[in-house]
Chains A and B, each alone.
Chain A
C-alpha cells in the first residue's frame, strides 16, 4: 500500500531562518511521482513541485529546494530565509501514474509552518 508520512505536525520559525519539512513515503511501485503542495489559509492547494521516481536530482527554485533520496524514501523540502508569507500547511503527496488508481494523489497529513516576524 502507498503511504506518505510527514512526522512534523507543526513548525514555528522566526523570519529569515531556514526550515526543512520532512516527507517519507512508501510504495512498491518502481514508477511514481512525488509532489509538494502549499495550502495557505484561503484553502486552495497550490502546486509547488513534481518529481518522478527516475530523477533523483535535487532541485532549487528561488528560496525553495527539494532533496529526493530513493535510498531512504524521502523527499524533503527546504525553505531558505523564510518569510511570513511562507506560513501555510505544506503537503507531500505520492501518485502512481500507471496503476489502478492512476492519478490518485496520496497525501501526508501536512506540516503547518508558522513564520513569525
Chain B
C-alpha cells in the first residue's frame, strides 16, 4: 500500500516569493492534515480536512497561507508571499476517522523542507 506522498521534498526560495506543496494521502483516508515542524520542535497543526471541508484551520496564518483539497483527495498548501520565518518542514498526514470522532493513527509523509532566504 502506498503511503502519504508529498512533493517537493526540498524547496529553496527567496523571501516574498510564492511556494506550493502538494500531498496525496493514503487511498480511502477521509481526513487530511497539514502540520508545520520548526527545527528542534514537534509538529504543529496548520489545517485539518474532513473530505473536502476544512474543519479546523484556526492555526493557519490566513494572510499568507492558503490550502485546498479538491474532490476530497489531494491537497495543496500555498504560501504567498513567503517570509524568512516560514522556513520549516511541512508535513502532510492522513487518517480514517469514523462517526465524527478521531483518535486513530495518523500516517505521515516525508515532508517538504522549505528554506526561505
Contact = CB atoms under 8 A, between A and B. Distances in A.
B102 interface: yes
Contacts of B3: 44
B35 to A, nearest CB: 8
A95 B42 contact: no
Nearest to A46: B108
Contact of B107 (A47, A50, A98): A47
A109 B42 contact: yes
B42 A110 contact: yes
A47 B108 CA distance: 9
Contacts of B107: 47
A52 interface: yes
Q: Which size bracket describes the interface of B in this complex? A: 20 to 34
A109 B41 contact: yes
A34 to B, nearest CB: 10
Contacts of B106: 45, 47, 103, 105
B44 interface: yes
Q: Which size bracket describes the interface of A in this complex? A: 20 to 34
B41 A98 contact: no
Contacts of B51: none
A43 B42 contact: no
B48 interface: yes
Contacts of A42: 110
A30 interface: no
Interface in A90-117: 91, 93, 95, 97-98, 100-105, 107-110
26 contacts: A4-B42, A32-B103, A43-B89, A43-B110, A43-B113, A44-B3, A44-B109, A44-B111, A45-B43, A45-B91, A45-B106, A50-B104, A52-B103, A95-B103, A97-B101, A97-B102, A102-B103, A103-B56, A103-B102, A103-B103, A103-B106, A105-B43, A109-B40, A109-B41, A109-B42, A110-B41
